[in-house]
Amino acid sequence: MILLKRIQYDIAPRNTLSNFWTHEQICANQNWTIKIDSQLSGDIDKLQQWANNTQNPIADYHHGLLNLPAIFSLGNSILQELRYGTGVVRITGIDLALDDNILRLLYLALGLVTGEAITNYGRLWDVCNRGEDYRNSNIPISMTSETTSFHTDSSTLNVQPDFVGLLCLRKAKWGGESLITSAVAVHEELRNTSKNHLIHLYRDYVRDLVTPGSERSSSKISENLFPIFHFDNVSSKLTFRYMRYWIERAHQTLDIPLSMEEITALNALDSVLCDPHFAFSFTLNRGEMLWINNRTIAHNRSNYIDDSISPRLMVRIWIKCDL
């Protein structure tokens, strides 16, 4: 058995947290949904003209390459809402006549306004059912049609997207709804109702390594150690990093069983994350985008059934931003 030095961290103080909302509050908040207006069409035309003369637009495009004032303005609105607002942005009103390639490029251009792309999966990653089983293969659950459970992206210590984007190119025949929950609101609910459980969530846990570029061995897994909730006293910011399955699999791989107190704390966390008082669900339609703050917002996806001719296809981007 590998021995781990698991640190117990201090709980965040009150009144220092942003991105707090409940289901009722986000339903009443109009700021996080942005409908694209006609001003964007000129910038899209510029992108299209440039892409027509470029061999690999997704690889070659970089922020500032073209003068795209409407895209820059929209990207900055996304950035402000992710940092200081709800931590969530939904983009609607995209011209459905645009083809997949220009939708991908527009999506990338918006993302690069907010920060730098993390490329472990490539600049853009197609999220679709690839017919594999994550229980028997070292693959992310996003490569299946199963529900992902509430989580944040990346189980690797040194790969932490600040923002995660999702572009819908084709929705599922059935299911596949997006679900979001404010981890900040969940944190405060646990503080108020079961602080003894919250304490256990400020303890280090190992995670299995599935992110491309990570060496998967017992020694590397044992080094992949960090808490679920963490408060940085210097920046006064709370961070939430969670995917229960990868925690359980890593502890099982290393033969380091979770204690009953820890299992109870994880159960309490999952219960509040799924609570309808906090969780909000919706379906992304073609051309729509979802952006989330990956440090403060937990997200999930319901299981789905594909159309055999036109299977569900989402495009993901990971963004690193100086928060």
pLDDT digit of tens for each residue in the chain (323 aa)? 677 889 999 999 986 668 999 999 999 999 999 999 888 999 999 999 999 999 999 999 999 999 999 999 999 999 999 999 999 999 999 998 999 999 999 999 999 999 999 999 999 999 999 877 777 766 677 788 888 899 999 999 999 999 999 999 999 999 999 999 999 999 999 999 999 999 999 999 999 998 887 778 899 999 999 999 999 999 889 999 999 999 999 999 999 999 999 999 999 999 999 999 999 999 999 999 999 999 999 999 999 999 999 999 999 999 999 76
Task: Report all structural domains of the chain as residue ranges with CATH numbers, in order of start.
Answer: 23-320 (3.60.130.10)
SS3 state at 32: coil
User: Is 255 exposed, middle or buried (CB count within 10 Å of its CB: 0-12, 13-18, 19+)?
Assistant: exposed
